[in-house]
A and B are shown apart, each in its own frame.
Chain A
Amino acid sequence: MADFLILALLGGLGVAAIAGPLGSFVVWRRMAYFGDTLAHSALLGVSLGFLFDINLNVAVIACCVILALTLVTLQRQHLVATDTLLGIMAHSSLSLGLVAIALIDDIRVDLMAYLFGDLLAVTPEDLYWIYGGGILVAALLYKLWEPLLAITINEELAQVEGVRVTWVRLALMLLIAVIIAVAMKIVGIMLITSLLIIPAAAARRLASTPEQMAIGAAILGCIAVIFGLGLSYQWDTPAGPSVVVVSMLEFLILYSWPQRQLA
């Protein structure tokens, strides 16, 4: 197998494995639009990274984190409904990113690679970011698992029982921000949310506990990466979208399969 394929496979598997459990929370807590907004703002991070000549991963993570914090603050003010606020921030930050990139004279930016991913161009340095970020997120997720489940079931009940709800909620947002930054390379800004929610939604059909769903989502995501890359290699289709298409097929198969409801 060619080197670039091995790198692509390793990168894709790393992202899919951690996107599964995190994506389950996105599904349970109805944060799909929130994830989308963070992803859109990633492009602003990219352009700021070019502008100030800092590491792009760092710039994207910083941009996502700042956006998440801004969102929480604005949400508290109740100026506009949350979905309106998300829409404004998503498209404003994407447009700001596009405008900023156009203003940078001396650099040609491959926009398509950021918007739809360039899995086949994964470098060893990207792998460090993916696995470094992934392991960090996995460790925090493991440590915060019970409190995260508690606030997902009922925030007031969790608070009465001593969970520090605001911090746990914030931690989840930051974990999603990190994953979006590292997953951008794989499927691109426009498709990151699909990697979070489609495998998780598909795994729901097979799960009767939250843990089964999280692990199931990771496995389904990895399968989608393997077959998506195969598809891309065989027929020269774009790699990121191919991965998304395979996970959509998984979802369709699992939901059209007649079965009893588990839990």
Chain B
Amino acid sequence: MKSHHDLVRLEQVNLHFGRNHVLQNIDMALHKGCITTIIGPNGAGKTTLVKVVLGLTKPSTGNVWCEDGLRIGYMPQKLHIDRTFPLTVQRFLQTAQCKDKSLMLEALSDVGAETLLKESIHGLSGGEMQRVLLARALLRNPNLLVLDEPVQGVDINGQLELYALIARIRDQRNCGVLMISHDLHLVMSSTDHVICMNHHICCSGHPEQVSNDPSFVDLFGQRGAEQLALYNHHHNHRHNTHGDVVHEHCEHDHG
């Protein structure tokens, strides 16, 4: 009786770095059309867990199962490109094995960055760079998007907008999404499943479920948990980067 279409399954994954037991008995599954968010304090092993999912790090014990034909679109936490490396957004997108300019423009407009095609990658702001990285991940036509702190270096309004964008991409493409966030209250409204971890999985489930879980309160303190509860009660609208109100389900257009 399987109600979900699994893309990746981790079974009893353990990982040791020297004497550090970084990942402890991790069981998790990523589903098609489902946004899974990993939250946890710094040094909790979030990025390491993502690297196991990506196949970049082999677990010490346990199994990682991937669906046949899984195509991962990965957006690393930070992409540092040396200034000696001349690169335009267009040439950068071409490295996703895409030569078709109209496809590139489509991916850029999906993330609201269609004006950046000819720009130098070195002149982009933090938020623009994250959008370009996301567009590049989309160009690979992934059935699983993996995003390591996708809103890093983006201001609060931009963060809300990016999370909404990720949710919209999931709706349009019905792909699975795995992302890391340390900003609990912003990500809650646009995620289906939360995994709260500190080397082991402390609790997991729907966002509301997790925010009421005692181990979550333990990990983030009463204050963090209350902020979260508050967040669930307000906001029937969002703001885009220009400060304008953007309604939840309205079509999105850019000037």
A binding-site residues for B, Cβ under 8 Å: 27-28, 30, 146, 149-150, 152-154, 156-157, 159-161, 201, 204, 207-210, 212-213, 261-263
B122 A161 Cβ-Cβ under 8 A:
no
B84 A210 Cβ-Cβ under 8 A:
no
The residue of chain A having its C-beta at the shortest distance from the C-beta of B92 within the complex is A153
- In the bound assembly, the distance between CA atoms of A204 and B122 in angstroms comes to 13
Q: In whole Å, how far is B134's beta carbon from the nearest beta carbon of chain A?
A: 13
Stretch touching chain A among B18-26, B75-83, B170-178: B75-83
Chain A residues in 8 Å Cβ range of B87: 153, 209-210, 263
B120 part of interface (Cβ distance < 8 Å): yes
A157 B88 Cβ-Cβ under 8 A:
no
Q: Which of B51, B86, B121 contacts A212 (CB 8 A)?
A: B86
B81 A208 Cβ-Cβ under 8 A:
no
- In the bound assembly, the distance between CA atoms of A236 and B136 in angstroms comes to 55
Q: Which of A149, A160, A262 contacts B56 (CB 8 A)?
A: A160
A28 B84 Cβ-Cβ under 8 A:
yes
Query: With A149-B95, A154-B79 given, is the CB distance from A201 to B86 under 8 Å?
Result: no
B54 A263 Cβ-Cβ under 8 A:
no
B202 part of interface (Cβ distance < 8 Å): no
B binding-site residues for A, Cβ under 8 Å: 51, 54-56, 72, 74, 76, 79, 81-82, 84-88, 91-92, 95-97, 119-123, 140, 146
Chain B residues in 8 Å Cβ range of A28: 82, 84-85
B140 A161 Cβ-Cβ under 8 A:
yes
Q: Which of B86, B122, B123 contacts A209 (CB 8 A)?
A: B86
Chain A residues in 8 Å Cβ range of B51: 156
- In the bound assembly, the distance between CA atoms of A146 and B92 in angstroms comes to 11
B88 A263 Cβ-Cβ under 8 A:
yes
B88 A208 Cβ-Cβ under 8 A:
yes
Chain A residues in 8 Å Cβ range of B119: 263
- In the bound assembly, the distance between CA atoms of A161 and B85 in angstroms comes to 21
B120 A262 Cβ-Cβ under 8 A:
yes
The residue of chain B having its C-beta at the shortest distance from the C-beta of A155 within the complex is B56
B95 A150 Cβ-Cβ under 8 A:
yes
Q: Which of B79, B86, B123, B140 contacts A153 (CB 8 A)?
A: B79
- In the bound assembly, the distance between CA atoms of A208 and B118 in angstroms comes to 10
Q: In whole Å, how far is B160's beta carbon from the nearest beta carbon of chain A?
A: 26
Nearest 10 pairs between A and B by C-beta?
Answer: A263-B120, A207-B86, A160-B74, A28-B85, A209-B91, A263-B86, A263-B88, A160-B54, A27-B84, A208-B86
- In the bound assembly, the distance between CA atoms of A62 and B85 in angstroms comes to 31
Given contacts A201-B84, A209-B91, 6 further A-B contacts (CB under 8 A): A28-B84, A156-B54, A159-B55, A160-B56, A208-B88, A261-B122
A261 B120 Cβ-Cβ under 8 A:
yes
- In the bound assembly, the distance between CA atoms of A154 and B121 in angstroms comes to 14
Query: With A152-B85, A160-B74, A209-B86 given, is the CB distance from A263 to B122 under 8 Å?
Result: yes
Q: In whole Å, how far is A180's beta carbon from the nearest beta carbon of chain B?
A: 21
B86 A157 Cβ-Cβ under 8 A:
no
Instruction: Show 25 residue pairs from A and B whose CB-CB distance is below 8 angstroms, ordered by the A residue.
Output: A27-B84, A28-B84, A30-B82, A146-B95, A150-B95, A153-B81, A153-B85, A153-B87, A154-B79, A157-B79, A160-B55, A160-B72, A160-B146, A161-B74, A161-B96, A161-B97, A208-B86, A209-B91, A210-B85, A213-B86, A261-B122, A261-B123, A263-B86, A263-B119, A263-B120
The residue of chain B having its C-beta at the shortest distance from the C-beta of A159 within the complex is B56
Query: With A150-B95, A160-B56 given, is the CB distance from A262 to B81 under 8 Å?
Result: no
Chain A residues in 8 Å Cβ range of B122: 261, 263
B91 A210 Cβ-Cβ under 8 A:
yes
Chain B residues in 8 Å Cβ range of A157: 74, 76, 79
Chain A residues in 8 Å Cβ range of B95: 146, 149-150, 153
Chain B residues in 8 Å Cβ range of A27: 84
